[in-house]
Amino acid sequence: MGRGRVFDLKSKMNAANEEEAYQVRFEEGRHRIVDAEGNVYLDCGDPASAGHYAELMNRAFRRGYKAGLRKGWQKAGR
């Protein structure tokens, strides 16, 4: 399997139908958690574990993204 499509995280996270920052892909017989650029963060043997870790990573990403966005608004005086 190829790396799949690459997308711009910033524009996707601002879109109404946001895509997840981390996704599970099945490659070379393994379930891999990858980012938009195709970087592999975790390599799991079963889909349940990979899905669980991807969900945790996406939750952490969203919380950090939102916290950073709020800080930026505070600095801008919004």
Structure confidence at residue 17 (pLDDT): 35
Per-residue CA distances from 71 to 20, 68, 76 (Å): 22, 5, 9
pTM: 0.63
Q: How buried is 32 (Cβ within 10 angstroms: 0-12 exposed, 13-18 middle, 19+ buried)?
A: buried
Non-local (6+) Cβ contacts of 59 within 8 A are none
Residue 8 amino acid letter: D
Kindly report, residue by residue over 11-65, the tens digit of the pLDDT.
444 433 357 899 999 999 999 999 989 999 999 999 999 999 999 999 998 888 7
Residue 9 predicted with pLDDT over 80: no
Look at the chain and count its residues.
78
Domain ranges, ordered by start, for the chain: 9-73
Kindly report, residue by residue over 59-77, the tens digit of the pLDDT.
998 888 777 777 776 777 7
Tell me the HSE value of 27 on the side-chain side, using a 13 A CA sphere.
15
